[in-house]
Structure 1
């Protein structure tokens, strides 16, 4: 059996009833106009199966929204955004920051950012030392801010922090959240020998 086929080009939708009707129905579908169920084939009268991809996207967005709400209601939220503004919308930036660090460094960095470093203010709060005063200068409470930027006793070593930048390097938030500053920060901490009994190895090798 031999069939003869021919093709003809026509300008799209111009004067062709079938094309015009199809275009009209496509517009109705796009505007969410539904057909009456009794005119649909039986297979189309049932609810369409859920899209696995759409469900995953919805769950991901919903989980992220719930996690952000829980995080912003946390007592630690205000403290951490004071150190790192990116924590207002935490994603994976901190994981990227510590990904290449040795474990002692990443552990101490977390403690410095949360205020739970083994410095006297925190140790006094948990009952491990009798006073929150700085053991180096004995004039102020030994907070993370005091230890890193203000203690006069550690001033000879603070030139190591200035390598992080003459101005921005003197922001605690910048020092604790910028990857370029981390090596200078840990060289400073090592030079002070303040935490050497707890963190014996802060080298980057």
Structure 2
């Protein structure tokens, strides 16, 4: 407001009109402001020599966006978790299950139209729980002669 008053030559009275402009209106000034706001949100800023002197001196001490801090903290936590998880002894077992589940999709497609008995036998063979002598012996249901 002061700069407007100075441009008006210090007159006591001058005309000022403030109007709301829809974001999609295509007003040139509005588009420039939207572009600058987007760049600022993405982390781009003016070079230090274009900042006012009092801000240029405090460049490293300027406040940081709370949202940016939360996002950076979340990224560090995810990276740390991912490293711990891949080094975990459970990771290999989980990864095998995950790969098996992806294979299961292919299995479902390949066995479409099979009868229940056929599917049951295939799953028993895959899991090793088919009533063969080795399995019956392992669960101590095998009769020895």
TM-score for both structures, normalised by structure 2:
0.38
More helix by share: 2
Larger radius of gyration, structure 1 or 2?
2
